[in-house]
Amino acid sequence: MTVLRVTDLEVGYAGGARAVRGVSVTVGAGEVLGIVGESGAGKTALALAVMGLLPGGATVAGSVRLHDEELVGRSDAELSRVRGKDLAMVFQEPALTPVHTVGDQIAETVRVHCGVTRAAARARAAELLDLVGIPGAARRARAYPHEFSGGMRQRVMIAMAIANEPSVILADEPTAALDVTVQARVLDVLRAAKEAVGAAIVLITHDLGVIAGFADRVMVMRGGKVVETGPVEQIYREPRAAYTAGLLRSIPRIGGADAPRPRPERPVVLRVDGLVRHHPVLKGTLVRRRAGTVRAVDGIGFDVREGETLALVGESGCGKTTALMEILRLSRPQEGRVVVLGQDTASLNAARRKALRRDVQVVFQDPAASLNPRMRVAGIVAEPLTTHGVPASLIKGRVGELLEQVGLKTEHARRYPHELSGGQRQRVGIARALALEPRILLLDEPVAALDGSAQAAVIALLEGLRERLGLTYLFVAHDLAVVHRIADRVAVMHMGRIVEIGPVGDLYRAPAHPYTRALLDAVPVPDPLLERGRRRVLLRGDTPDPMTPVRGCRFRSRCPRYPMLPAADGRLCEEQDPSPGRETDRLVACHHPLVTIGAE
């Protein structure tokens, strides 16, 4: 039975952009429809048009029928009776009103649609919070949104969406802002919620991995139009449209058995020992007081050899970016040692530091934020050259050369950053980093902000540059599939520590730390059959508050293995902080690793 039928829907924004161009689709009762597409495909506009929540000035034509009732053209008052009642939505940003408690906001959703008493609505709110897996639901209902983590807020959004047992839930990129470990949990909650109320779900995402394990049918969108629609197996196995096939090819995948290669005997270009970075935390906007300390980086050590790529991976907040920034400062760290190309950063004077900057360059995550919006591409790429005294006569030629090297054309030199696409901007960032012919490149999530196809292209570019220029990469990322493709070695970080480090093949094939295992398990596989058949270990709870010091193993509260251990073994985890042990190529900081290290 069809619950939602969209026919020839057209959405135009003020300014003339046509976001959705003639989309027709149906959703059956209890069905999960996945909608995929890259940014600008019109996915969100479609969802907002169905909800009747498009911003002012947007025009809608066509028909949206819910249970055979037309929604397009209805008044706000009439639509309000449907929204949240029969048709609910979960947004990408779990945006709750900051000044009302979570429980009140859920209760409001209930009360606005059915005339239950305040107390009954409260009770229902607690019940819903419990259903979406928030521990201590009755107590937590009195908390404010800012006291919840992103994953928990998204669960609250799901609780609100199912509060009135709707027949359709639209979920627009519900996990895009979350870590993979949290993403897996939120998807599970969404699945459970769907079972509980029997709603149909429209899951909108750019991530083909997420859809593979979740959707029954898939609709692929591009430029506001439907590319193709079909059962999930068919779309993944035999896509009819070339565009879909291209999308599927561009996904980085974990897999392919790569033989363990011995680590090449080359000189170490970057060595970090016991690096520490603690931030004071100031609270209050009017008066700022020190409320505690975040141990962002709490004693990490690794080395990178010439021509090698080491990836630092972990959830957001684990300290991987902070570690990168500490290295980039090229000055004395709070504790520990950073040695770059044989020079201890603590001993550098200003002139030597500036000279060393030529050899150590950085590419940032967000290409829009890392390029000065008021400078032209030529000026941006030339800045390192002028700074380091390259004669003006040589600069123009060098800029052209650099742009060509990163796959841009000379005419791009005259443009401003906002006139370029995301992938092109990131290429400008890379060109700037390469300008001084550095030997080490530090990359902070260089592809995280890019769409699938742009992501694949930039990774290919980085691989090519590494071969041609003999670069060494320190690569910070949260996407384990990307890391698998580009890295030689991987260091897994958790709460400011490295919990496991080793060659990428070994580590992915046989993770020794339960956290590594959980991270790998949480990565969705873009294959419907494999994804559904997987057995996975999920983490309990969220990342602990980084301000509270933990005795013993920091991972204990989330560890899937710890509750299963005999009491005597468990005591070790409670009392001793595991350290990565002595230096070899493969290290793990766990008292009870999943595989034995060093036996081979």
Q: Is residue 505 within 8 Å of residue 260, measured between CB atoms?
A: yes
DSSP H helix total and E strand total for the chain: 22, 21
Which string of x and - marks every residue 350-369 that binds other proteins (by CB under 8 A)?
Answer: ---xx--xx--xx-xxx-xx
Return the beta strands (E) in 232-373 as ranges: 268-283, 289-305, 309-313, 335-340, 343-344, 360-363
Determine if 279 is a binding residue for other proteins (CB under 8 A): no
Residue from 147, 165, 238, 404 that binds other proteins (CB under 8 A)? 147
* Cβ-based nearer residue to other proteins, 275 or 590: 275
Determine if 376 is a binding residue for other proteins (CB under 8 A): no
Determine if 100 is a binding residue for other proteins (CB under 8 A): yes
Residue from 1, 16, 68, 289 that binds other proteins (CB under 8 A)? 289
Residue from 29, 62, 108, 273 that binds other proteins (CB under 8 A)? 108
Q: Is residue 313 within 8 Å of residue 519, measured between CB atoms?
A: yes
- Tell me the site size for other proteins, rule CB under 8 A: 67
Strand partners for 300: 275
Q: What is the DSSP code (8-state) at residue 83?
A: B
Determine if 109 is a binding residue for other proteins (CB under 8 A): yes
Residue from 388, 414, 532, 534 that binds other proteins (CB under 8 A)? 388
Crossing angle, helix 392-405 and helix 377-387, to 10 degrees?
Answer: 120
Residue 106 is encoded by which pair of tokens?
A: 């859920």
* Other C-beta atoms lying within 10 Å of the C-beta of residue 557: 14
The continuous run of DSSP H or E covering 244 comes out as helix 242-250
List the interface residues with other proteins, window 417-436 (CB under 8 A): 429, 432, 436
Our CA dihedral for 317, 322, 324, 325, rounded to 10 degrees, sits at: 150
Determine if 103 is a binding residue for other proteins (CB under 8 A): no
Determine if 14 is a binding residue for other proteins (CB under 8 A): no
Least CB distance from residue 149 to other proteins, whole Å?
A: 14
Determine if 290 is a binding residue for other proteins (CB under 8 A): no
Least CB distance from residue 433 to other proteins, whole Å?
A: 9
Determine if 473 is a binding residue for other proteins (CB under 8 A): no
Distances in whole angstroms, Cα of residue 59 to Cα of each of 23, 56, 224? 15, 9, 14
Determine if 7 is a binding residue for other proteins (CB under 8 A): no
Amino acid at 162: I
Looking at 78-86, 125-133, 250-258, 478-486, which segment touches other proteins (CB under 8 A)?
A: 78-86
Which string of x and - marks every residue 561-590 that binds other proteins (by CB under 8 A)?
Answer: ------------------------------
* Other C-beta atoms lying within 10 Å of the C-beta of residue 119: 9
Determine if 55 is a binding residue for other proteins (CB under 8 A): yes
Q: Is residue 300 within 8 Å of residue 323, measured between CB atoms?
A: yes
Determine if 286 is a binding residue for other proteins (CB under 8 A): yes
- Rounded to whole angstroms, the Cα distance separating 400 from 483 reads 30
Determine if 497 is a binding residue for other proteins (CB under 8 A): no
The continuous run of DSSP H or E covering 391 comes out as none
* Other C-beta atoms lying within 10 Å of the C-beta of residue 415: 15
Footprint on this chain of other proteins (rule: CB under 8 A): 51, 53, 55, 76-77, 80-85, 88-89, 91, 93, 95-101, 105, 108-109, 112-113, 144, 146-147, 157, 160, 163-164, 283-287, 289, 291-292, 325, 328, 353-354, 357-358, 361-362, 364-366, 368-374, 383-384, 387-388, 429, 432, 436
